[in-house]
Amino acid sequence: MDVFEAIRTRRSVRKVKPDPVPQDLIEKVLEAATWAPCHFLTEPWRFIVLQGEGRELLGEVYVELLKEQLENTAEEESQLKLNQQMEKAFRAPAIIIVISSPSVKPHVIPREEFAAGCAAIQNMLLAAHALGLGAIWRTGHALTHPRTKEIFQLKEHEEVLGFIYLGFPDQRTIPVKRTPYQSKTTWIHHKTTKSEQTVT
């Protein structure tokens, strides 16, 4: 798929089929991530792939998050909601956890390492789309919850950037509009004062 076509037609796919994703396709998505730009070639990322029962680990995080909010809820109702939380981790046959693992060298700027990890995720989303897969970048409180660090054994300086749900699409793609770049772009051809700059 042409890169510009992939960029224009990629969408977040929330509903995917339960069919397993072949390992070679997952590996292509992971490889695409590793070609993201990064300062000083630090490659500040690592990945955890959840499949099958392994997805229960993420389900445990979702359950823990909800438990903190259910103190005054009836037991039967609570259990139903907790089960629903666990099911969230099974909405796709494969989930890739993207972890920012920044270099600790003194000349490396942490914010740049974070940005590189996000660039890696964009590569993954575009690669998945080009391969005929559906993907969505999920975030939320689960990213920063202490249980997440504990379950997935993150180091102190590491953080989760997102959960990439991956599968074969089971929904129609709805066209969307984007604000034209012209309304968000300032062209500067020579040194000017702020009042002289124009947006075109």
The binding site for FMN comprises: 10-12, 39, 137-139
Binding residues: 10-12, 39, 137-139
* DSSP conformation class of 23: H
Please, what sign has the CA dihedral across residues 24, 98, 132, 61? positive
CA atoms within 13 A on the CB side of 174: 6
Q: What are phi and psi of 50, to 5 degrees?
A: -105, 130
Find the DSSP H helices in 88-170: 110-130, 146-151
CA atoms of 45 and 101, how far apart (whole Å): 5
